[in-house]
Amino acid sequence: MPESAADGNSPGVEKNADGADRKSHKAGTDAVMKTVCELKLRGGGAKSTKTAARRPKVKRTKQAPKIKRMKRCAKKPKRPSSSTSGVDEDELISFLKFLATVSWDWKLRSYKSVLQRFAEDCGSTITLSYKWRSTFAREHKDDLPPRVVELFSAKKAQEGSSRNVTAAEYFDRLAELYGRISTAPECIWNLGSLDVELPEPLKKLESVETTSPEHVSAIYAISAAGELIPATLLFKGSRIAGEWKSLLDGPDKEKVLLMVNSSGKYDPAAAIRWLRTIFTKAVKRKPVGVFLNETHCLPEYYDFLKLAYDEDIHLVSAPKKLNSVKLPLDVNIWGPTKDRWYEELDELQMEFPAATLTRPQVVKSFAPAYSLLNEEDIKDGFASCGIFPLNPNANPVVKKSLLPAYDGEMEEQEDISSLSEVVEEAFEMYERAGLSRARAKRLLRNMNVPGFETLS
């Protein structure tokens, strides 16, 4: 074999600088690259920025944070527990029984406002949700008044429903009340108020400025036994002067008490002050039942109702469609009293047409009107109403004022046209004196003007 072939330097075989075969080098490089690729696929190698999946970027706008804030605000707050917190259920039932004789026409919202204030006075809270009140009415159905059970069991759509109270139901409630209190006539009272407008002097009527007339109210109370509490005159003002009762005699001074407020009208504040300072001191025997006007039993009079409840004074009002039950008291007793008071005021104003009536004059004008009340008329008024003695079948008797009897010859001689002229002249005269047409009619009627009844 030649020497050149033995050393591998034959011209048929190519070698690199290191003496390695080119084919073997290429095969090794391919093997290494394959291994690296496998490692990358398994996650063992460096991450490639070209093949790794990138997280898509969300373009931020100004609306995105607003949506987040709106979602946070949309969360509803937690509702308070629908139950009583610290309210004694027996006390609550007792108060609801007390309201049964004054809340004939109340709706559920009226009960809610009153009971929430009652709970606050007891140092607790109450939430009248449908779940709680329906459960409360079901558990205490035998102890609660039927009207309360009906309203507490009603759903939201029926909360404002109202119903008519029958006379039988009204007297059944009175019988239940009389069973809890004494049935003595000294324990049955009637409370009310008379509001009058003071006549204005001529100089005020002729002035350009329009002013509302001043009001004075009289607060009264009478019992079925014929007793009277001294009437309280409520004036507009800030203080009571000592000379207001200076014109009254000794006995009349004991019949009239004085109070003041900002309007001269009967309001909840005046009712509370009168009940606390006058009625509770004058009436020593309790419990008592007091009949009063329905307008004095509204939820706005809560403080008055709560004071009466604390003092063991049971209030009673007549339903709207049964106001005729108290008609004999209003017409036979308090109607003539108010008319007589107006007559006294008008006569005083006629004596001094250009002057304003003073407080002592107003007090003096009320004394003759209040003296008309007597024991027999008061007893007959309670009996005619069926209030005492309790009589559901009583027929209210209203006394009708008889027309004055005129002389027959005078009726034949007088001509209706001439009478109308005379009456109109009388109206003009009273108008110049500062009296209204209504008061002028009362004065003409009381003076027995012939033919006036047929003209008016």
User: How many secondary structure helices (H) and strands (E) does the chain include?
Assistant: 21, 8
Residue 315: pLDDT over 80: yes
Closest CA to 399 of 448, 447, 335, 318: 335
Produce one character per residue of 332-343: b if its CB has 16 or more CB atoms within 10 Å, e if not: bbbbbbbbbbbb
- pLDDT band (50, 70, 90) for residue 235: very high
pLDDT tens digits for range 400-428: 443 343 344 444 444 445 666 777 777 77
Domain regions of the chain by residue span = 84-163, 182-385, 408-455
pTM above 0.85, yes or no: no
Predicted local confidence at residue 399, as pLDDT: 61
- pLDDT for 171 equals 92
User: What is the DSSP annotation of 351-376?
Assistant: HSTTSPPPHHHHHHHHHHHHTT--HH
pLDDT for res 203: 62
Which of 33-42, 166-175, 288-297, 360-369 comes out lowest in average pLDDT? 33-42
- Does residue 213 have a pLDDT over 90? no
Question: Which option is the CATH number for 182-385: 1.10.645.10, 3.30.420.10, 3.40.50.2300, 3.30.540.10?
Answer: 3.30.420.10
Q: Fill in the amino acid letter for 317.
A: S
Give tens-digit pLDDT for 115-154.
999 999 988 888 888 888 999 999 999 999 988 998 898 8
Residue given tokens 């006390």 in the structure block: 91
- Mean pLDDT over residues 84-100, rounded? 86
Residue 1 scores a pLDDT above 50: no
User: Would you mind telling me the total number of residues written for the chain in this entry?
Assistant: 456
Q: Which residues of 214-241 are buried (b: 16+ CB within 10 A; e: fewer)?
A: bbbbbbbbbbbbbebbebbbbbebeeee
What is the CB-side half-sphere exposure of residue 246 using CA atoms within 13 A? Answer: 8
pLDDT tens digits along 288-313: 999 998 888 889 999 999 999 999 99
Query: Which has more pLDDT, 56 or 393?
Result: 393
Please give the pLDDT value at position 419. 62
pLDDT of residue 81: 46
Are the CB atoms for 300 and 275 separated by under 8 Å?
A: no
365-375 pLDDT tens trace: 998 888 888 89
In the predicted structure, residue 22 carries a pLDDT above the cut 80: no
Model confidence at 13: pLDDT above 50:
no
Structure tokens at 284: 């020593």
